[in-house]
Amino acid sequence: MRRLVDLHTHSTFSDGQYAPADIVRLADRRGLAAVALTDHDTLAGLPDARRAAEGLPDVRFVPGIEVSAKLPHGMLHIIGLGIDERAPSIVELARRLRQARNDRNPRMVERLRRLGVPVGMEDIRAVAGSAGDEEDRIVGRPHMAEAIRRKGYAETVQDAFDRYVGRGGAAYLDKEKIDPGETISAIRDAAGVAVLAHPPQLAVGDDDLEPVLRRLIEQGLNGIEAYHSEHSPRQTRLYLELANRYRLFVAGGSDFHGPVKPDAALGKPPVPLVMVEPLLSAVGV
């Protein structure tokens, strides 16, 4: 009996290094009972992942997406799990998210040029790879940072973030973000569970989390990511308690991106299947 799952992974369709089918195969080799693909802002990797899972009867596949939503301070990521990726609400959400990137990226490239860092969209697209069609892949700041490094304008990706593309960096521009309520509705209208991802990254502190959580629950949030590669055991316990108190589905995963993020190996931390089984049942996986 397989006992562990990973419900948070990124593929080459966003900023991960493994193709969707390879993530599913790796999950099977690691002996996981279920794996979700939750690329940033795109649904385009899901068909490949599902096809790979069809040949692997021991691993259940959970279609997902991770969305950056609007929050006055800090960052708010909402994961949709068990979504029907053909549902109009989620297709439209993905379209708006792609549009927001298409609006921002060339403007950041222009800022870089003015700063004497001539890194073009074609350099950035080269980093983003060749998965699917061009309009399927999402292109973001991690790709920009790597392109800047490759051209020799930064020592490391982190250096490129600190100086240029990170919040506060000289070329940074925010992209239009979508309201948490709209994000949650789009996920739930697509038959998915809307999960608050990695609560520590909200940057509100564990003590101030509850008011934020309550507001999101009013807007339809119905899950919380209790397990994550960056959570301490104490944080995981707190989020499990909150899940219990507010009747939220429990979710969890590594936030796997491949070797670029060595601390987030697939299947780490171990997420018990029994804890996420209510969520999987609710979405029919």
Residue nearest to Zn ion (CB): 15
Three-state secondary-structure class, residue 271: strand
CA distance readout (Å), 171 to 82, 115, 143: 36, 8, 14
Q: Give the type of residue at 92.
A: E
Q: Which of 172, 160, 51 lies closest to 108 in space, CA to CA? A: 172
Q: Which of 9, 259, 256, 43 lies closest to 137 in space, CA to CA? A: 43
> Minimum CB separation from Zn ion for residue 228, in Å?
13
Interface residue with Zn ion among 15, 85, 146, 225 (CB under 5 A) is: 15
Nearer to Zn ion, 10 or 98 (CB): 10
Contact (Cβ atoms closer than 8 angstroms) between residue 222 and residue 251: no
Interface residue with Fe ion among 60, 77, 98, 175 (CB under 5 A) is: 77
Cα–Cα distance, 153 to 146 (Å, whole number): 10
Cα–Cα distance, 193 to 281 (Å, whole number): 11
Contact (Cβ atoms closer than 8 angstroms) between residue 69 and residue 42: no
User: x-or-dash pattern for Fe ion, window 20-59, by CB under 5 A?
Assistant: ----------------------------------------
- Which partner, ligand AMP, Fe ion, Zn ion, none, binds residue 166 by CB below 5 to 8 Å per kind? ligand AMP
Nearer to Fe ion, 44 or 117 (CB): 44
Q: Determine the interface stretch with Fe ion among 104-112, 174-182, 202-210, 248-256 (rule: CB under 5 A).
A: 248-256
* Residue ranges that bind ligand AMP, judged by CB under 6 A: 68, 140-142, 158, 161, 166
Residue 137 contacts Zn ion per CB under 5 A: no
CA distance readout (Å), 206 to 124, 223, 234: 36, 17, 11
Segment 231 to 260, residues that bind Zn ion, using CB under 5 A: none
Residue 10 contacts Zn ion per CB under 5 A: yes
Interface residue with Fe ion among 6, 28, 41, 255 (CB under 5 A) is: 255
> Minimum CB separation from ligand AMP for residue 225, in Å?
14
> Minimum CB separation from Zn ion for residue 65, in Å?
12
